Amino acid sequence: MHIDPAEHSTADNYKLLTNLVVPRPIAWVTSIAATGVVNLAPFSFFNAVSSEPLYVVVSIGTRDDDRLKDTSANILASREFVVNMVTEELLGAMNVSAADFPADQSEAVAADLPLAASRLIGVPRLAAAQVSLECRLFQSLELGANTLVIGEVVMFHVADRLLGSRLHIENFAPIGRLGSPSMYCRTNDRFALPRISYADWRRGRGDAD
């Protein structure tokens, strides 16, 4: 079947895109308002896009009345944020933080999540998160009804039990986002598939060197 997005509603196209581009990592973003309130919200339009410099992107939609969400407004004002990764023991708290709380209420407080100071920025991280990335805003782009924020990772926080030799990460199983409205997946079913070289591919075909 061919599906032309021009013939469908924004809601239908969102449903298709988020059910097909899966799984997606979840950026559980802490940001801070000018009033000092710490905002906490999850976003699954998120990924790492560069290792030199270390850039991650988070796409944040607008409210139904086209106003910026608190996370976007806070990041644009302070130019700092933290991406905390969601693991299974924090899934319930993440779900609480996804509710549409008023700007003067902290989702971290509502979800009973202690905060910890960051090392290089003023925005705190979640103390219970196994992994947190301190970010400074590099650039923001308006993409239709979304604000794309590009953050430079300036500090990693990784639980000691996840670190193996030579900075290898072991036994880290963040939750992935599947389709709208409420599907998620676990990432603890793993397999290895070593890459092959072009020369190995040719030898596999029986081609002569």
Question: What band does 74 get if pLDDT is binned at 50, 70 and 90?
Answer: very high
> What size, in residues, is the chain?
209
> Which alpha helices (DSSP H) does 80-163 contain, by range?
91-97, 107-110
Residue 209 has pLDDT above 70, yes or no: no
Closest CA to 85 of 24, 148, 165, 20: 24
Q: What is the pLDDT of residues 158-173, one digit of tens each?
A: 999 999 999 999 999 9
- pLDDT above 70 covers a percentage of the chain that reads 99
The domains found in the chain, sorted by start residue, are: 5-205 (2.30.110.10)
Residue 142 has pLDDT above 90, yes or no: yes
Segment 20-40 mean pLDDT? 97
pLDDT of residue 180: 73
Torsion of Cα atoms, 72 then 77 then 79 then 84, to 10°: -40
Closest CA to 86 of 102, 99, 74, 97: 97
Q: What is the pLDDT of residues 116-126, one digit of tens each?
A: 999 999 999 99
Residue 148 has pLDDT above 80, yes or no: yes
- Answer yes or no: are the C-beta atoms of 97 and 111 closer than 8 Å: yes
Burial environment of residue 154 by CB neighbours within 10 A (0 to 12, 13 to 18, 19 or more): middle
Dist CA 209 CA 202 (whole Å): 8
